[in-house]
Amino acid sequence: AEVYKVEGIELRAGDRIRWTTNDRGLGLLNSRTAEVTGVKNGRVSFLLEDGRKLDLERNDPQIRHLDHAWASTVHAFQGRTVDNVIAAMEAGHPNLTTQKSFYVEISRARDRAELVTDDRTRLREQLEAATGERISALEGIGKSPGRAGEMASGMRDDQASGSRGRSRTQGMEPDRGPKVVDRDLGL
C-alpha cells in the first residue's frame, strides 16, 4: 500500500519535474528528474535524464508520483552535478552543519555555488569545529583516544614486548575483576 497526499499540479512544456517513487517497469527512479516536453490530448510527454522520451496518459498512476523540481535536498542530489547551486546552511544545526555536509552541498556545482546562511560568523565557527565524522560515545565525552589511537597504542605495546599479535579485545574491555564461575555448566 502507498501513502501519499493527492494534490493537483499544473504541468506545462518546459517544466522540470522529479519522480517521487520508483517505477521499475518504466525505468523511473525516485528523485530523478525529467523535463515536460508537451501536454496535449490527455497525454503528458517527458524527456528523461538519460535522453529517453516517455509519454504517459493523464490518468497513469505514475502521474500521481511527481512534483516540480524547483529545489532539491543535497541527499536527493547525491552523486550528481548541476551548473549552479544555492546551498542554505543554518548555523544552529550542529548535526547538519558539518564540513562533510558543506563539501557535499558545494561540490554539486559545476560553474557556480552560493551559500546562504542565517549567521556567517557562527556558521564559520560551526564548520571549523564539526568535521561530520562519526565518533564513539566514549570519544564524544573525551574518555577514549579513538580506535585508531587504541590500535596504534596496542601496536607500540606489542612491539615493545616482542609480541607478534594481540587479541582484538585486549585493552578494550573494562576491568571486571577476576573471573568467577557462578554456576556449574557441566563442561
Q: If we measure between CA atoms, which residue out of 68, 62, 58 comes closest to residue 21?
A: 62
* C-alpha grid cell, residue 102: 558543506
Region of 12 on the Ramachandran plot (φ > 0 left; ψ -120 to 50 alpha; else beta) = beta
Torsion over CA of 102, 96, 87 and 79, rounded to 10 degrees? 70
Q: Which fold has domain 16-68?
A: SH3 type barrels. (2.30.30)
Break the chain into its structural domains and give their ranges: 16-68, 82-129, 137-167
Q: If we measure between CA atoms, which residue out of 19, 86, 90 comes closest to residue 54?
A: 19
> What is the residue-level pLDDT of the chain in tens, covering all 187 positions?
677 777 788 999 999 999 999 999 999 998 899 999 999 999 999 999 999 999 999 989 899 899 999 888 877 777 788 899 999 999 888 878 888 888 888 898 999 999 999 999 999 999 888 877 777 777 667 766 555 454 444 444 444 444 444 444 444 445 545 544 444 444 3
pLDDT at 146: 52
- For the whole prediction, is pTM greater than 0.75? no
3 state SS of 117: strand
